[in-house]
Structure 1
Amino acid sequence: MKPRILLVEDDQTTAAFLAAAAEALPAAVDIAASCAAARVQASNIAYSLWLVDAHLPDGTGAGLLHELRGLGMSTPAIAHTAARDGEVHQTLHDAGFEAVLVKPLAAAALRAALAGALSGRMSSRVAESGLSEAASADAIPATWDDAAALRALNGARAHVDALRQLFIDELPAARGLVVASARSGNHDALRGALHRLRASCGFVGAARLEQAVVALQDAPASAAALAAFDAAAQELSPPD
């Protein structure tokens, strides 16, 4: 029988990428978009592995793992995060995750990590693929980085196109949340929205928008950074 994996991820583009990559192991994948949904799934289904986002709408991956362990569940667990901060990674390891995957990462890198965990060979480490690094402030990236997107999906052009369409469909809502949070000074909501968007930009190769996301993460109170983000997002958003 194929192993069954619980993927906990609230961003639809990221969830679609991770699920498709994991299913090619092969594996059966169930998706939960919140801590509450994941608790229900994990309590009722025997999973071979949990793949948990570090930041969720109703809590954290570390908090969710603590709750599940408190219920006596010992399923192996891997965290995934767009954060590149070593302290964040260490916190996830200390919470009990066997590995930390840094998004975006290529499908092959994800499958290697999952296979290692499923076979009991995964040592505690941070896995980074180097798939997507935002361009420097002096560079002007292309709107779409096809090479990065194709690397992420093992050269499958049809998969890239499908994932990009999902990303584009979801982008207006994400853009609206970022702009509203920045203008209202709600930096917690802004950080969360940018964190999710950065990972999905990397998966689909939205290079110019990813650069703008990183710049706004670095300067959340900057009107210029917000304007640059808004322009890059509007460039990709479907017409009203």
Structure 2
Amino acid sequence: MNHSPAPALPRLLLVEDDPVNAAFLAGASAALPAEVVQAGSLVEAEAACRDADFDLFLFDANLPDGRGEDLLRSLRGAGIGTVALAHTADVDDALHTRLLAAGFVAVLRKPLPVATLHAALRRWLPAAETARPCWDDAAALAALGGQAAHVQALRGMFLDELPAQRGRIALAVADGDAATIRAELHKLVASCGFVGAARLGDAVQAMRAAPLDAEALRALDAAVAELLPG
């Protein structure tokens, strides 16, 4: 086992007030991977920026207490120059033009597939591609009381079961059975946490937010393939 600490993840501030959209965007962004901090209003976002620095902003255009462009202007006035992306379900071209004029580098239109979100985030968070290891030994040791032998034993059991879990998920996807997919992913994400399967855990989280998304399934398959012998 490699006991060196995992590299720090890029930090993303997600501002979104709708719970369903927030869950999808947070899960898909975390799978990039990235560390995602969520806020549901301008007030919460400004408080988050006072407490920490971020590598990228992802702001909803319309929030309960104001507009995303107003939030960005306020942060720019405070000397915070973090690159910002906007997201909106509004198809009004005038709004998109206004958001770009306010300083957003791009406007993402919801609903958006995981692949589109990842492509936008990767453009501005290039370090995210290699930030997460396949195995996070520190996380696994912490979950299992520092017992390396327990980690190794559980990883063996985990890898033995993984092909069958992947098969059940694939079958549920083919049947369009989102409930079964979520149930399988719920079990799998817990196992990933215990054994420190970091990249697979991120892919599982993204697919939990979008269980029938083809790109999310491909990301899951890629993460599984990294762990299983050829």
1:108 maps to which of 112, 115, 121: 115
Q: What is residue 142 of structure 1 aligned with on the other side? A: none
Q: Any residues of structure 2 matched to 1:120-159 within 5 Å, and which?
A: 157=178
Alignment of 1:48 with 2:55, yes or no, is yes
Residues 1:118 and 2:125 aligned together: yes
The answer (yes or no) to whether the contact 2:178–2:211 under 8 Å persists in 1 is: no
Give the whole-Å Cα distance in 1 for the aligned partners of 2:79 and 2:94: 27
Matches within 5 A, 1:39-118: 39-118=46-125
Cα distance per residue 1:174-228 (max 9 Å; x no partner):
xxxxxxxxxxxxxxxxxxxxxxxxxxxxx799xxxxxxxxxxxxxxxxxxxxxxx
- 1:155-174 counterparts in 2 under 5 A? 157=178
Q: Structure 1 54/5 Cα, relative in aligned 2: closer, same or farther at 3 Å?
A: same
1:80 partner SS: strand
Over the matched positions of the two proteins, sequence identity in percent amounts to 48
Q: How much does 1:158 deviate?
A: 5.8
SS at match of 2:108: strand
Once residues 39 and 12 of structure 1 are traced to their aligned partners in structure 2, the CA distance between those partners, rounded to angstroms, is: 19
**Corresponding residue for residue 16 of structure 2:** 9
| Alpha-carbon separation, structure 2, partners of 1:157 and 1:3 | 30
Displacement of 1:77 in angstroms is 0.4
In the alignment, the residues of structure 2 paired with residue 27 and residue 11 of structure 1 have an alpha-carbon distance, to the nearest angstrom, of 21
The offset of 1:161, in angstroms, is 5.0
Aligned-pair distance for 1:108?
A: 1.2
Amino acid aligned to 1:47:
F
Q: Distance in 1 between matches of 2:177 and 2:27?
A: 12
Q: What are the ranges of 5 or more consecutive residues in structure 2 without an aligned counterpart?
A: 1-7, 128-172, 184-209, 213-230
| Letter matched to residue 112 of structure 1 | A
* Greater length-normalized contact order (CA 8 Å, ≥ 6 residues apart): 2
What's the secondary structure of 1:101's corresponding residue? strand
In 2, Cα distance between equivalents of 1:90 and 1:99:
10
> Counterparts of 1:183-194 in structure 2 under 5 Å?
none
Q: Look up the equivalent residue of 1:63 and give its one-letter code.
A: D
Q: 1:103 to 1:71 in 2, by over 3 A?
A: same
For 1:26, the equivalent position in structure 2 comes to: 33
Number of residues paired by the alignment?
132
Q: In structure 2, do the counterparts of structure 1 residues 49 and 158 end up closer, same or farther at CA, with 3 Å as the change threshold?
A: farther
Distance (Å, rounded) in 1 between the aligned partners of 2:180 and 2:113: 13
Which of 1 and 2 has greater Rg?
Answer: 2
| TM-score, normalised via structure 2 length | 0.53
Change (3 A) 1:158 1:28: farther
Following TM superposition, where does structure 1 have runs of at least 4 consecutive aligned residues deviating by more than 3 angstroms? 155-162
TM-score, normalisation: structure 1? 0.51
Q: What are the Cα deviations for residues 3-42 of structure 1, in whole angstroms up to 9, with x where unaligned?
A: 0100000000000000000001110101100000000101
